[in-house]
Structure 1
Amino acid sequence: MTFSEEFELLLRACYPLLYIPTQEEERLEMAIASSAQRLGNRSVYYWDFVEGYQGNPNGANVGRRNPLQALEFIEKLPASSNGIFVLRDFNRFLDDVSISRKLRNLARRLKAEAKNLVIVAPQIYIPNELAEIITVMDFPLPSSAEIQGEIERLLTGLGQKVESSLRDEWSRAAQGLSMERIRRVLARCLADHGQLGADDVELMLEEKRQSIRQTQILDFYPASERISDIGGLDNLKDWLLRRGGAFSEQARRYGLPYPRGLLLAGIQGTGKSLTAKAIAHHWHLPLLRLDVGRLFGGLVGESEARTRQMINLAEALAPCVFWIDEIDKAFGSMDSHGDGGTTSRVFGAFITWLAEKTSPVFVVATANNVQSLPPELLRKGRFDEIFFVGLPNKTEREAIFSVHLNRLRPHKMADYDIHRLAYETPDFSGAEIEQILVEAMHIGFSQNREFTTDDILSAASQVVPLARTAKEQIQFLQEWAAAGKARLASRDSGFPAIS
């Protein structure tokens, strides 16, 4: 059921007080006016604290700076005067005892009349004494069809034509933005170069960054890494490449559901976070990073409210990649938190969303310590797949050295013995390989020369890899994966022996 269909149903059912939280006041009022027109006999009155009632045939500015008078105006109208009364920002006055009492009195009367009161505000605030008589409605952000319609209207006015695939990409990039923000970005593009092009998609994503920064729960993470920047992990990369078009309209017409997400479990420094960034870049989707610590507040119920806000924001900005780094630290060993069950309630809300979500939010969670993860998180249905990311084998280490050296010294790749470097660095993770290359560069720079293969090996000899200092934990992870608990991210089915 669309918003307009539900809104009109509630009007016909004589629901006296509706509360619609939204930042899109203008777009909502246009939707209300359209519904009133379809119903045929409803006038629409708009009130705000500064101007009072606008367009009121019975007197201009009635109720100006007087919210109680605004309600008395509704009360004094004849029973035959059908109308929808839109009260902007009226939530600010609901704590006043006279306002609360007047609303409850009005609710009794309006149930028998074709009058409906609609409170419009940016956020929800309803005192307990009004909870029984107020019905909250959600006003969704513009749908893909609405966004495409707006883009089509603009292009038609300019006499431009573009391919449907490019229009789909604009629409996908704009989802999660208000219509006002979308129009603002389109106007910026036209003011800049007089037309809409493929490069303008990035401006849509920048507008999303602006809206996310204001929440202080999620971060809009820049993702410039490519799938080719990941050394090894061929099974995982193949899995991702097959799903590259799964968010397109063609995939919907084919009948494909949206991909749900991945859990990447394994050893630290093996490319799990890099993979999350590469997925977003390759699929041309915004990357949202959740710092789970920000979900937990000191007030009773605050953590649960922030969790709901996080979920609503992620779904509003869909399609997107939703990255939860080191989820084991947030939800591991919940019984020992001693927080009155807050962590358990937040976790329960989160995994329920994972299982039931139908929105195009692709969740990428990473974990280093699978022992501490609750079993509910690992069961089928939460994620599309669980991949184990282990230590790179020799072939993968060669690929990792090649990726980094090609970035650092693209014209001198032949000067480095990649095979020897991979052979001499068993047990090294991708992060550790990157660090020994940085150390080798320091050696060469301090001696005013290029760093060499020997410098890299010298730097490696000074490092004790995590595989040796946390040998027991890594062996447990390897045994866990070998038991069939997860799919192997690397094509080589074996595990390199830890020396």
Structure 2
Amino acid sequence: MQSNVFYALQEHILNNSPLVACESPFQERLRFFLGVAQICHKLGKSCYLWNLGESAIKKVSISVEGNLVLQDFDARQTIITEQKRTEYFEVFDFWQTQLENGVLIVENIYPWLQAENVVKQTEFLLMSEWIKSSLLNLKLYNDRARKTLILLGDSASLSKDMVGEIPIISHELPELDEIISVLRHSQILPVSLENKYWSEIARAGIGLYASDIIRGLASLNKEFNLELTASAGEQIVKQATKQLLEYKIDLLNKLYNIEFVPPPKVKLGGLELMQEAFQKFKVLLSPVAKQYNLRVPKGVMFVGPPGTGKSHAAKVCAQIMGVPLVLVDWGNFRSEGDRAEVKLQKLLKLADRLNQIVIYFDDLDKGFAGDDDLSRRLAGQLLTWMQERTSDVVVIASVNRMEWLPPELTRAGRFDYIYKVDLPNNGERHAIFKLHAARFDCRFRNGGDPFTEAEWRRLLKATNRCVGAEIQTIVERAAATTFYEMLAGGEIDRNCQPQLELTVEALLSERKQMNPLAIREADRVESMRHKADIQGLPSSPIDDSIYANGNVEIFR
């Protein structure tokens, strides 16, 4: 199955379009050359390649075996005689006057064609204008010629005066059918695999380009039997799927500066109302819901003070829905400078291709604190995508201060649900303590609870206004201190016995060494809580646990 980018390019080449801009990732470079060469071979056209690293134009062809062949073009016709940048770009004059009935691929000149807001030195700007004029001349003089110049790079960013003159084609991430076709032709897996196995392996590769998928499977055992039994086929698909998924997670994290997490397995204490809502969202992913024209919400916002568990809650929500989670630090885009919008665009395209996922933007409000032009452009890009997308992507964003966000970002149709993630009440703190204590003290596992009600009341009263992150720290410190004391006292033998047991006194001792944020910065935290009260839905029901009576609010 041929990629959509090659269908589009073939149409332009057939129509003898003089200029075409193509955006294709670097890892697809060889496959791109091969695809264009195959088109030219089929149409009886010559194919050429030139980039900044070449001192001569290369002729691109296909060998008898179907492989890519690059050869130096006739040196007598090569106009580049010295390694000078100004002479490099005379390739445009050469193409205008010398070659007929062909295709020339020119790589990596997009930096000279980008948007006007990029501040560059005078020499760079003069070179940029010279290149733009050369390209426009090509379009003017070659309008009726049987040749096409393809501009190739990983980001086809054109200035406004060029956008209307040069059509842009994007090399999109492959869909499931294209991935299956790539896998069948890669000769990495036995061709006799059942169709269901091809689909299962291909689904693991969704979100990767074809070259990455082949590279991710390259180390598989190639000595598979051609005659497969059912059990052998299952073993192969299990091995291939596992390897491809591991490769995908590692590569996506590096390429997009994100954290891609398969459906996580975590526990959350509290926030029952929010968890119930995501149970409903899970049902909306079903094909039956689609028949009723029902869709998952476009966006969900978590509002509340720092440390209340918003990031952890996002993982739980992805777990409830049974879909992968993509964690994104919104502030990272601002640090990318001129490439921020390009990186966000690619990330959103990835999310659309992955389809049924939760994408979590952490600390979204901090990206808008400066109220600068970049913030507004990024916000506009995110809003447009959220408004127009058709994929089943649930966007979750965490914010501490909603007043820093543009008003249009929080209206219905963008973020349909806004939940207040507040300081945990007594019942929730009890659940959070048990959840973390079970990591160190086996008495808390499987529903166990070694503390008395009176001991819990002491602990919960002492940790009033502590958030989940602070409770986790208290437990971890208490466990470390208990272990140290056991080790110093010679209590631990070679078999790591006895088991570590947490005490209320150890937990209270660690609490005394901590000054919770909600007390240390009471005014700021209460301001956040008050505004979240006004704008958000409650994420937790009223505390009806046996410890509720001791939940005394202060600083209100």
The equivalent residue for 2:97 is 75
- 1:315, distance to aligned residue in structure 2 (A): 1.9
Structure 1 length-normalised TM = 0.78
Which consecutive unaligned segments of at least 5 residues does structure 2 have?
A: 63-70, 81-87, 114-126, 226-234, 492-500
Name the structure 2 match of 1:486: 536
Instruction: Please give the secondary structure, in 1, of the residue aligned with 2:208.
Output: coil
C-alpha spacing 1:222/1:69, structure 2 compared with 1 (3 Å)? closer
Q: What is aligned with 2:508? A: 457
Deviation at 1:60, TM superposition (A): 6.5
1:323 to 351, 356, 360: 360
* In structure 2, distance between residues paired with 1:384 and 1:192: 52
The 8 Å contact of residues 333 and 343 in structure 2, kept in 1 or not, is answered as no
Distance 2:91 2:147 in 1: 17
Spell out, residue by residue over 1:172-194, the C-alpha distance to the aligned partner (whole angstroms, 9 max, x if none).
44223220110111232345999
Equivalent residues of 2:264, 2:316 under 8 A apart: yes
- Counterpart contact for 1:258–1:359, Cα < 8 Å: no
Tell me the secondary structure at the aligned position of residue 231 of structure 1. Answer: coil
**RMSD over equivalenced CA pairs, Å:** 4.2
TM value normalised by structure 2 = 0.71
Distance apart, 1:415 and its partner CA: 6.3
1:112 correspondence with 2:144 = yes
Deviation per residue, 1:129-178 (Å, 9 max, x gap): 966643332121212321133345669834223747x935x444422322
In structure 2, what residue type is equivalent to 1:309?
K
Deviations 1:92-119 (A, max 9, x none): 9994998766544432232113322212
8 A Cα contact 2:302 2:418, kept in partner: yes
| Aligned equivalents of 1:126, 1:389: Cα separation in 2 | 43
SS at match of 1:27: helix
**Mapping of residues 16-31 of structure 1, within 5 Å:** 16-22=18-24, 23=26, 24-31=28-35
Query: In the alignment, does 2:226 pair up with 1:175?
Result: no
Residue aligning to 1:433: 471
Q: Which residue of 1 aligns with 2:324?
A: 285
* C-alpha distance in 2 between matches for 1:278 and 1:193: 40
State the one-letter code of the partner of 2:17. Y
Match of 2:482 in 1: 444
Partner of 1:188: 219
**Aligned residue number for residue 47 of structure 2:** 45
1:433: how far off?
1.6
SS of residue paired to 1:134: coil
> Could you tell me which amino acid in structure 2 is paired with residue 491 of structure 1?
P
- Contact 2:188–2:222, Cα closer than 8 Å, also in 1: no
Q: What is the match of residue 167 of structure 2?
A: 135
The within-5 A match list for 1:72-471 is 72=94, 75-77=97-99, 82-89=101-108, 95=127, 103-124=135-156, 133-151=165-183, 157-161=190-194, 163=196, 167-168=199-200, 170-190=201-221, 196-198=236-238, 200-212=240-252, 215=255, 218-220=257-259, 226-227=265-266, 229-244=267-282, 257=295, 260-280=298-318, 283-296=322-335, 302-303=337-338, 305-316=339-350, 318-319=353-354, 320-332=357-369, 334=371, 341-411=373-443, 413=445, 414=448, 416-417=450-451, 419-420=453-454, 422-424=456-458, 425=460, 426-448=464-486, 450-471=501-522
CA drift of 1:233 comes to 1.3
1:172–1:393 Cα change, 3 Å: farther
Q: 1:361 to 1:418 in 2, by over 3 A?
A: farther
Q: Which residue is 1:54 aligned to? A: 60
CA distance in 2, matches of 1:44, 1:418: 84
Q: 1:127 to 1:398 in 2, by over 3 A?
A: closer
- Tell me the amino acid that sits aligned with residue 342 of structure 2: R
Name the SS of the counterpart of 1:142 in structure 2: coil
Q: d(CA) in 2 for partners of 1:236 and 1:479?
A: 19
5+ unaligned residues in a row in structure 1: which ranges?
none
Where 2:167 maps in the other structure, the secondary structure is strand
Deviations along 1:309-348, whole A, 9 cap, x unmatched? 22213423542543322222221473xxxx5x44333333
Q: 1:296 to 1:87 in 2, by over 3 A?
A: closer
**Partner secondary structure for residue 137 of structure 1:** strand
Assess if the C-alpha contact under 8 Å between 1:354 and 1:382 holds in 2.
yes
Query: Hey, what's the Cα distance between the residues in 2 that align with 1:421 and 1:352?
Result: 53
Q: What percent identity do the matched residue pairs reach?
A: 23
Query: Aligned letter for 1:84?
Result: V
Quote the offset at 1:493 in angstroms: 7.8
Residues 270 and 391 in structure 1, CA contact (< 8 A), matched pair in contact too? yes
- Aligned partners of 2:111 and 2:374: how far apart in 1? 29
Q: Kindly provide the amino acid, as one letter, of the partner of residue 206 in structure 2.
A: Q
